[in-house]
Amino acid sequence: MVDGAGLVPFAPEGETDLTTTIPENKHRQILQTCIDVPETSPSFPLPIKKVGISGKTVWVRLAANNSGHIPFRARILISLAADRRGIHMSRMEQAISSLHDKEFADLTEYGKMLGHHIMKTQNAQHLSLELTGHLPYLQEAPVSKLRSVDAFEASFNVIFKKNKDVDAVKTQVGAGIYHLTACPCTLAYNETLFDRFNDPWPQATHSQRSKTRLLIGSTDDGNLPSYHDLTEILDSVLHISHDLLKRPDETELVLKAHRNPQFAEDTVREVARATGEKFKGILPPETQVQVHSLSLESIHIHDVECFLDTSLGEILVTLQSIKQE
């Protein structure tokens, strides 16, 4: 401070002060002799399953974005052995910084490389990395044909586990998108109430904005579906929301949702069905398929959540059984 005035001193105008407070050679000397505290023994030696950093923004340079950077939220957790007091957080940040200027084909490639970098610098047996962000999703309105510049939630998760000097890998990609659902119950009730079963126009019912996520997992380091594949599946069975809609476009979307009303349960099952049809013969039967739907109810105070956790093989068996009926 300058004379206790609360001002931070700066170098004179036109000059740059790049000197360190303590000579650099002194820092190097101390680093050679100082105790590495995280590597010391803890006072109570219990192993910790997961410890790391979360809420971290990483900037990923993607080729599909004209080599521009897109922000993603990162959650990086590693295991800590019973004989080690702490982790080296700065090494995680160094790994992130080392990839900042590199270009990646997709988020999956970035996530795998970041995971490998961190495993090399941390003496850990287990690492969990989660990346979540948004990528552009361009849609065309049904009547006006105007382009709506929207977004979908993109996620990538990877788990590394050391097994005799070999990293066993489990990966998962996910895409989530907002869509419109109309309640089948109220619609069916009003058809009976007003005796309008053969009316070409659907009866009144309540509708709500929903968000559904599809996640595909692999137990090896093999190829995973693209985000285009995932959003294509979601778009094929859901009434996807658009930000840019003119009145005729809004009417078409609302009518479409009312002609095919969906529970949250319907949305996850139909997404699973479309996933089976899309990846039959392409992905192995043991491929993990998870679908999560959140319905922001319009006439209730509560919301509705639905989870489906299955395998591609189970979906294909169900598809086959339906065909045989």
Q: What is the pLDDT of residues 230-284, one digit of tens each?
A: 999 999 999 999 999 999 999 999 999 999 999 999 999 999 999 999 999 999 9
Q: How confident is the model at residue 218 (pLDDT cuts 50, 70, 90)?
A: confident
- Tokens 């996807």 map to which residue? 240
Q: Say if CB 163 and CB 148 are below 8 A apart.
A: no
pLDDT tens readout for residues 33-67: 888 899 999 999 999 999 999 999 999 999 988 88
* CA distance readout (Å), 102 to 66, 68, 97, 99, 105: 13, 11, 10, 5, 10
Provide the mean pLDDT of the chain: 91
pTM: 0.87
* Furthest C-alpha separation in the chain: 89
Q: Could you give the CA distance from residue 174 to residue 241 in angstroms, rounded to a whole number?
A: 18
- Which tokens is 85 given? 């007091």
Q: Could you give the CA distance from residue 96 to residue 71 in angstroms, rounded to a whole number?
A: 12
Residue of 68, 170, 152, 72 whose CA lies nearest to 112: 170
Q: Taking the CB of residue 63, how many other CB atoms lie within 10 A of it?
A: 12
| pLDDT given at position 12 | 62
Q: Could you give the CA distance from residue 127 to residue 104 in angstroms, rounded to a whole number?
A: 21
**Residue type, position 185, single letter:** C
Helices 264-279 and 312-324: angle between axes, nearest 10 degrees = 90
- Which tokens is 226 given? 């693209």
- Assess whether pLDDT exceeds 90 at residue 156: yes
Q: Where are the alpha helices (DSSP H) in the chain?
A: 24-33, 89-98, 107-121, 184-193, 227-237, 247-259, 264-279, 312-324
- Assess whether pLDDT exceeds 90 at residue 167: no
Q: Could you tell me the residue ranges of all domains in the chain?
A: 125-324
Q: How confident is the model at residue 311 (pLDDT cuts 50, 70, 90)?
A: very high
- Average pLDDT for residues 199-220, to the nearest whole number? 92
| pLDDT given at position 10 | 54
Please provide the CATH number assigned to the domain covering 125-324.
3.10.270.10
- Assess whether pLDDT exceeds 90 at residue 81: yes
Element (H, E) at 219: none
Rg of the chain over all Cα atoms, to the nearest angstrom: 26
Q: How confident is the model at residue 324 (pLDDT cuts 50, 70, 90)?
A: confident
Q: How confident is the model at residue 28 (pLDDT cuts 50, 70, 90)?
A: confident
